[in-house]
Copies of this chain bind each other. A is one copy, B any other.
Amino acid sequence: MVTVNRNYLKLPGSYLFSTIGKKVNAYQSENPDKKIIRLGIGDVTQPLAPAIIESLHEGVEEMAHAETFHGYAPDLGYEFLRSAISRNDYQARGCDISEDEIFVSDGAKSDSGNIQEIFGIDNKVAVCDPVYPVYVDTNVMAGRSGEYNPGRENFDGIIYMPCREENGFLPEFPSEVPDLIYLCFPNNPTGSAITKDELQKWVDYANQNGSVIIYDAAYEAYISEENIPHSIYECDGAKTCAIELKSFSKNAGFTGVRLGYTVVPKALERDGVKLHSLWARRHGTKFNGAPYIVQKAGAAVYSEAGKAQLKEQVAYYMRNAKVIYEGLSEAGFSVSGGVNAPYIWLKTPDRMTSWEFFDYLLEKVNVVGTPGSGFGAHGEGYFRLTAFGTYENTVEAIERMKKM
């Protein structure tokens, strides 16, 4: 008789964004004249930059002619893209990552969900709390957790590292040494960043303990301060303990285009095996490459025109972040994030729960954000606003909140 993967049944329903959607729709239909401003979801709103559009059109045209048609892509991704990544994202920053350590994919969500698969089921997983839900959920689905505790809103067998105001929204070394450590900086949802010195401590910790860090650098393009590393490989020894995930979604607006990459250094070995060869095997067996036209568009991100246009696009969103951060600070809210990240993390006023504040904000000023508790137990009492709206809407939302 067929059995199902019962680990899936441990997952509580994925209610966060569907609950938000239902509440917003219900409010809108009762109040059809109200203009609701959405600063909840992490999706971008600006169109693709002209250099990307031009490259996409060119790629499409190549696919129209037999001489320039592209079928199956190489397993790791096209060399032209991997070499642009290696040069711009690594060599230019003094990180010795070669193009054959880079695996091009259809996005960091897939990679961050799939990467756990090359590890044994018995590994102990540590995550920040609050956290991007994919890291935990995919390890639960693979069987690396016990049951879910509805009261405590966490899973047995997962090590949670609380990130709260008290510790500057940075994780501390847990009492039990983890095998796999998921870190995301600049952070979603808190918008916090980690300095190079602080990250170096984690790299040293992982090397000393034989752990592996899975480092999600999806928001690297939003870093504005000097002492914040853009890649974990800026730290000494990271090549023997860290895998880095990178997205084109937020630096280039590719949320609907789908492109990302993962770096697995050849020097990274555990349990007598090179992790590079395991990930290569997974990539070659369960994936068939990102579309040629998308990889070509990815290369345009690194062209001179592309770089200039995307710098402006990131600046557009960071102006929003500043509007939110400064506006809410002035209004007396306790806010963090927003300086090296497109997310502002807000302490709910008057000891409201995250969901109470959600309802309050929706009903009082028709602004939608994301309850912090949706990202984990230690997100309770916090609230996430994103800088990915339009400037006009962002200004209006903050004006409304100031008047609450």
- Does B258 lie within 8 Å of A119, measured CB to CB? no
Inter-chain contact B120/A4, CB cutoff 8 Å? yes
Check A4–B270 contact: CB distance below 8 A: yes
Question: When the two chains form their complex, are residues A109 and B287 in contact, meaning their CB atoms are under 8 A apart?
Answer: yes
> In the assembly, what is the distance between CA of A48 and CA of B109, in Å?
29
Stretch in contact with the other chain, from A90-98, A110-118, A358-366: A110-118
Is B123 within 8 A of A2, CB to CB? yes
Task: Report A84-137 residues with CB < 8 Å from chain B CB.
Answer: 106-107, 109-110, 113-114, 117-123, 134, 137
A15-63: which have CB < 8 Å to B? 41, 43-48, 50, 53, 56-57, 60-61, 63
The count of chain A contact residues (Cβ–Cβ below 8 Å) is: 78
Segment with Cβ contacts to B, from A163-171, A273-281, A332-340: A273-281
Q: How far is the CB of A86 from the nearest CB of chain B, in Å?
A: 22
The 6 A-B residue pairs with the shortest CB-CB distance, nearest first, are A3-B120, A113-B286, A43-B71, A2-B270, A71-B255, A70-B256
Verify B2–A179 contact, CB threshold 8 A.
yes
Given contacts A4-B118, A120-B5, whether A288 and B107 have CB atoms under 8 Å apart is yes
Given contacts A47-B64, A47-B69, contact A285 B2 (CB under 8 A): no
Q: Which one, B50, B64, B287, contacts A48 given CB within 8 A?
A: B64
Q: Indicate if A11 sits at the interface (CB-CB under 8 A).
A: yes
How far does the alpha carbon of A120 sit from the alpha carbon of B65 in the complex, in Å?
46
Q: Which residue of B lies closest to A247 (CB)?
A: B288
Cβ contacts under 8 Å, A46 to chain B? 66, 69
